[in-house]
Homo-oligomer: A and B are copies of this chain.
Amino acid sequence: MRLDIAGTRELLPLRDNYLLLTHRRPDGDTLGCAAALAMGLRAIGKSAYLLENDEVTERYSSLVTGLYAPTDFCPDAVIAVDIASTDLLPDNARAYAENVWLCVDHHPSNTGYAENLCLYAERAACGEVIYELLIALSGGIDAAIADALYIAVSTDTGCFSFDNTNANTFSVAARLVEAGARMGEINRALFRSKTRGRIAVEGMIYSEMEYLHGGRAVIVALTNAMIDEVGATEDDLDNISAIPLSIEGVDVGVTIRETSATNECKVSVRSSPSVSANAICGRFGGGGHAQAAGFSITATVAEVRERIIALLDEILGGNEVAQK
């Protein structure tokens, strides 16, 4: 049954022992929503826990502290938050797939698997829906709930910079700050801080990247020696293949990285819609999505770079001289 906020609010007093589910590769929205809802349900005298999600990263680990269900917990109702389909349930949640009593979500693609569905597809973050639900339930929220919902809303909108951000997002953020969300601290941790190692990696990449075809293409070539020189960890190197596409005018970014094996490289290609990353990688036996693909190859970084340059000349036309 489809329910609005008011209808969903009426459900919550009906059961006593709630188990809350989060999705695979959990992000700030699913975890922040589950944490906030658990605390809100406890505030009205319910027993409420999150089902353990073993993919929670360090970044969000504080959200689930003290909220995981003990092994002997016997729920009388299961709630899924920010989960569009049962395919997105972690393995340990599969057993509940057919018995989700309530799903609160913002994904238009929600498959309607739950007995009751509270879906607001126009919301940027599921956290906005949970906020309204908790206000309807209790009239207010405490600072810990505000923190959890601020993390949900801010992470799903790239700290209010993504296109999904809207007037409601800002209004909810205002109320969360009024309720005591420690936004300064949260923003610094999630959006405004980089490790010294990451700074060193970006410094190296920014200084060494090679622009071709008048800046339409960028090649970043990283050897193990370069990575060792700046002392970067795997965390510091996270998502570096996204860097070239953040530069104005770049349509295709190729990141070549030497693996630990001799003479082997992993290559990531990112592109704007005018170029097919998938087609480029297909030429080397790899693939992926249209705008994000990759491949592995037995060759040195220098050899791969040469072959990529030749392919880019073929695809983008001309034989421009590479310029740093």
Could you tell me if A165 and B183 are in contact, using CB atoms closer than 8 angstroms? yes
Residues in chain B near residue A247, CB distance under 8 A: 193-196, 199
Stretch in A68-76, A167-175, A276-284 touching the partner? A167-175
Q: Which of B167, B204, B209, B215 is A174 in contact with, Cβ under 8 Å?
A: B167
Query: How many angstroms from the CA of A159 to the CA of B205 in the assembled complex?
Result: 25
Q: Name which residue of chain B comes closest to A174, CB basis.
A: B170
Query: Which residues of A172-200 have CB atoms within 8 Å of chain B's CB atoms?
Result: 173-175, 177-178, 183-184, 187-188, 191-196, 199-200
How far is the CB of A118 from the nearest CB of chain B, in Å? 22
Does residue A16 face the partner (Cβ distance < 8 Å to B)? Answer: no
Knowing A168-B174, A174-B168, A209-B199, say if A192 contacts B246 (CB, 8 Å): yes
Q: Which of B165, B175, B195, B206 is A200 in contact with, Cβ under 8 Å?
A: B206
Q: Which of B159, B188, B195 is A160 in contact with, Cβ under 8 Å?
A: B159
Does residue A211 face the partner (Cβ distance < 8 Å to B)? Answer: yes
Residues in chain B near residue A246, CB distance under 8 A: 192-194
Mask, A143-169, CB within 8 Å of B = 1, is 000000000000000111111011111
Query: Which residues of A27-44 have CB atoms within 8 Å of chain B's CB atoms?
Result: none
Residues in chain B near residue A187, CB distance under 8 A: 161-163, 165
Residues in chain B near residue A177, CB distance under 8 A: 165-167, 170
Does residue A238 face the partner (Cβ distance < 8 Å to B)? Answer: no
Residues in chain B near residue A163, CB distance under 8 A: 183-184, 187-188
Query: How many angstroms from the CA of A246 to the CA of B194 in the assembled complex?
Result: 6
Does residue A207 face the partner (Cβ distance < 8 Å to B)? Answer: yes
Residues in chain B near residue A191, CB distance under 8 A: 161
Does residue A314 face the partner (Cβ distance < 8 Å to B)? Answer: no
Mask, A235-277, CB within 8 Å of B = 1, is 0000000000111110000000000000000000000000000
Query: How many angstroms from the CA of A247 to the CA of B193 in the assembled complex?
Result: 5
Q: Which of B159, B171, B175, B178 is A159 in contact with, Cβ under 8 Å?
A: B159
Residues in chain B near residue A211, CB distance under 8 A: 196
Footprint of B on A, CB under 8 Å?
Answer: 158-163, 165-171, 173-175, 177-178, 183-184, 187-188, 191-196, 199-200, 202-207, 209, 211, 215, 245-249
Could you list 18 further interchain pairs (A-B, Cβ under 8 angstroms) beyond the known A160-B160, A163-B184? A158-B192, A159-B161, A160-B173, A161-B187, A163-B183, A165-B183, A167-B178, A168-B174, A192-B245, A193-B247, A194-B247, A196-B215, A196-B248, A196-B249, A199-B247, A200-B207, A202-B203, A207-B207
